[in-house]
Amino acid sequence: MIQQSANPGNAIAIALPATLALLSFMAYAQDTGPSASRPALSGGYRFAEMTGEELFANICQGCHMPDAKGAAGAGTYPSLAGNRNLEAGVYPVTVVVNGQRGMPPLGAMLSDDQVAAVVNYVRSHFGNNYSDTVTAEDVKTARR
């Protein structure tokens, strides 16, 4: 029969990292002040952000990446940077509202103004220079 001796050093070696991790988490959770580098989270079923840049940062860049160049891994997320499919404004509006393949439909969570804002942002950034803008009325028409 093997007998274990009580070694206080083992208990400390286990408890110390766990305690430090807990304290670190608690400090992070208590930091509720505004931060320029950390965007505000939306509450509820609809997104609160209103500018195209805010909407892209909080919704789109998780899959399409901050530089909008897309990603591949567990799934394939197309590049929005320099994307010729964005030339006709109705196409990205339709994709954002109704979804397509792996892209979820976001129309129920975004107002017409929000969809127009994020589509216009993507169409005028990341190497895209489409100067014609989509309007909330264009989005309303695409919803039908």
Question: How many Å apart are CA 67 and CA 45, to the nearest integer?
Answer: 27
Place of tokens 């969809």: 115
Show the tokens assigned to 45: 């079923």
Task: Evaluate if pTM is beyond 0.85.
Answer: no
- Confidence (pLDDT) at 42: 53
- What would the DSSP string read from start to end of 34-56? -BTTBPPPPPTTS----SHHHHI
- Confidence (pLDDT) at 74: 79
- Confidence (pLDDT) at 73: 84
Question: How many Å apart are CA 42 and CA 129, to the nearest integer?
Answer: 29
Which long-range contacts does 132-135 make (Cβ < 8 Å, 24+ apart)?
132/89, 133/89, 134/89, 134/90, 134/92, 134/93
Beta-carbon contacts of residue 63 (< 8 Å; ≥ 6 apart):
70, 71, 75, 77
Closest CA to 92 of 132, 48, 49: 132
Where are the domains positioned within the chain? 52-143
- Confidence (pLDDT) at 35: 47
pLDDT in tens, the chain (144 residues): 555 555 555 555 555 565 555 555 555 545 444 445 555 555 556 777 789 899 999 989 998 999 999 998 878 899 999 999 999 999 999 999 999 988 899 999 999 999 999 999 999 999 999 999 999 999 999 887
- Confidence (pLDDT) at 65: 93
> Is the Cβ–Cβ distance between 71 and 120 less than 8 Å?
no
Domain 52-143: give its CATH architecture.
Orthogonal Bundle (1.10)
The span from the first CA to the last CA of the chain, in angstroms, equals: 76
